């Protein structure tokens, strides 16, 4: 991808997206679940409807896939496998969203797509059509999808048109802030497989622009202007992370960057991109939350800090931290590798949904 991009043959993310293409499967129903590709509010979704009689109203889930806002598809084998199992085993109507992707569709388009789908699904007439209990609906997502789920849950609280309240939000190794890209987790896992720091920085920057100046500033953690320095209180890991995650790392405080750069690309300071920047007053109204973090993951500390801030705001939080897992581990339940850790994490995820949704 780097070579093709440097030679001007193809955009970096277009090459990366070949992974998505190879993994994507058609919408195929089986004896347990009816699966269809359709549109909610003009956005493509993959809909999973349990075939068995509900014996009452069903639960509902709106799911957002990961992939750094640039990759991924609801029809990828791992996502299809997860959605199918959740729908069948827990009698859940799953709406898995194929939001538009960067760099063709930059921030805030992916957020606007997932928000439109969620708002559409939460309408009383739509919930009734699919026999979904309005008191048992959640948003969920992994990685960049966890970012979108967190942002959607926050935005719904400010929308007077939405009457249905979420019962839960499920954030699987979510990315939640773009202010500090020098957290202990970024240092510890800078060159770990699946999501090294360089790739996460590329995802972040491509979400906003292909201008390499933003990517270079983010890579050196010098992209936040001094006038936004007050926001670092929301991501100050020196008091938001437990001691075992801080380890021997020393908090150095922010090194400020160009105000002009932030004016050109203000998205990384936007709550819809960095939900961890929400105030205490905003957080306190959020629903019951499940957060999964993995030790060998640059995003580990984002989830841990959000869990701490939500608890401090009085929100019920279940924070599962997997010491032996890496970013994307849950997705490996359908891969030939058949990793035991993925099955264990998926089992815990399903168990939590069954007990709390």
Q: Token pair for residue 168? A: 């839960």
**Percentage of residues in the chain having pLDDT higher than 90:** 87
Question: For 168, which DSSP code?
Answer: E
* 327 noted as active-site residue: yes
pLDDT at 274: 98
Residue 11 reports pLDDT greater than 90? no
Does residue 34 lie in a domain region? no
Range of the domain at 318: 1-22+39-356
* 42 noted as active-site residue: no
Does residue 32 lie in a domain region? no
Residue 122 reports pLDDT greater than 60? yes
Does residue 119 lie in a domain region? yes
Query: Which of 142, 297, 301, 302 is labelled catalytic?
Result: 297
**Percentage of residues in the chain having pLDDT higher than 70:** 98
Torsion of CA 236, 320, 300, 86, to 10 degrees: -130
Domain tally, the chain: 1
* 143 noted as active-site residue: yes
Question: For 248, which DSSP code?
Answer: T
Does residue 100 lie in a domain region? yes
- Tell me the per-residue pLDDT of 335-349, one tens digit each, with 9 for 90 and over: 555 578 888 999 999
Q: Token pair for residue 259? A: 């105000």
Greater confidence (169 vs 8) lies with 169
Query: Which of 65, 223, 296, 327 is labelled catalytic?
Result: 327
Q: What is the mean pLDDT of residues 157-185?
A: 97
Query: Which of 96, 143, 185, 228 is labelled catalytic?
Result: 143
The two counts, helices (H) then strands (E), for the chain are 15, 8
Does residue 31 lie in a domain region? no
Does residue 275 lie in a domain region? yes
- Tell me the per-residue pLDDT of 37-77, one tens digit each, with 9 for 90 and over: 999 999 999 999 999 887 899 999 999 999 999 999 999 99
Q: Token pair for residue 352? A: 């939590």
CA distance 75 to 288: 28
Q: What is the CATH number of the domain that holds 188?
A: 3.40.50.1820
CA distance 356 to 135: 12
Q: What is the mean pLDDT of residues 240-263?
A: 94
Whole-model pTM over 0.85: yes
Does residue 74 lie in a domain region? yes
**Strands 43-50 and 33-40: what pairing?**
antiparallel
- Cα 97–101–106 angle (5° rounding)? 125
Does residue 316 lie in a domain region? yes
């Amino acid at each position: 991808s780097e070579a093709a991009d440097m030679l001007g043959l193809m955009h970096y993310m277009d090459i990366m997206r070949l992974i998505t293409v190879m993994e994507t499967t058609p919408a195929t129903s089986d004896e347990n679940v009816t699966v269809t590709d359709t549109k909610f509010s003009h956005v493509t979704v993959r809909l999973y409807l349990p075939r068995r009689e509900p014996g009452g109203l069903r639960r509902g889930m709106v799911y957002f896939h990961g992939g750094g806002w640039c990759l991924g598809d609801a029809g990828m084998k791992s996502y299809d496998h997860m959605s199918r199992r959740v729908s069948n085993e827990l009698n859940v109507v799953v709406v898995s969203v194929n939001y538009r992707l960067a760099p063709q569709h930059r921030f805030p388009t992916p957020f606007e797509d997932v928000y439109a789908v969620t708002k559409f699904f939460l309408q009383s007439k739509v919930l009734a059509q699919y026999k979904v209990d309005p008191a048992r609906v959640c948003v969920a997502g992994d990685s960049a999808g966890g970012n979108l789920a967190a942002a959607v849950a926050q935005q719904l609280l400010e929308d007077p048109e939405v009457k249905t309240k979420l019962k839960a939000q499920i954030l699987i190794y979510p990315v939640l802030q773009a202010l500090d890209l020098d957290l202990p987790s970024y240092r510890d896992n800078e060159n770990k497989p699946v999501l090294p720091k360089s790739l996460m920085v590329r995802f972040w920057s491509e979400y906003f622009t292909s201008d390499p100046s933003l990517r270079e500033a983010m890579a050196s953690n010098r992209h936040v202007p001094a006038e936004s320095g007050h926001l670092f209180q929301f991501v100050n890991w020196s008091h938001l992370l437990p001691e075992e995650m801080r380890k021997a790392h020393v908090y150095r405080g922010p090194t400020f960057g160009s105000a002009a750069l932030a004016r050109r690309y203000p998205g990384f300071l936007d709550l819809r991109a960095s939900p961890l920047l929400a105030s205490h007053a905003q957080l306190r109204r959020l629903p019951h939350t499940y957060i999964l973090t993995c030790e060998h993951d640059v995003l580990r500390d984002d989830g841990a800090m959000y869990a701490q801030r939500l608890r401090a705001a009085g929100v019920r939080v279940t924070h599962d931290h997997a010491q032996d897992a890496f970013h994307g581990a849950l997705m490996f339940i359908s891969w030939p590798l058949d990793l035991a850790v993925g099955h264990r994490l998926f089992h815990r995820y399903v168990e939590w949904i069954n007990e709390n949704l």
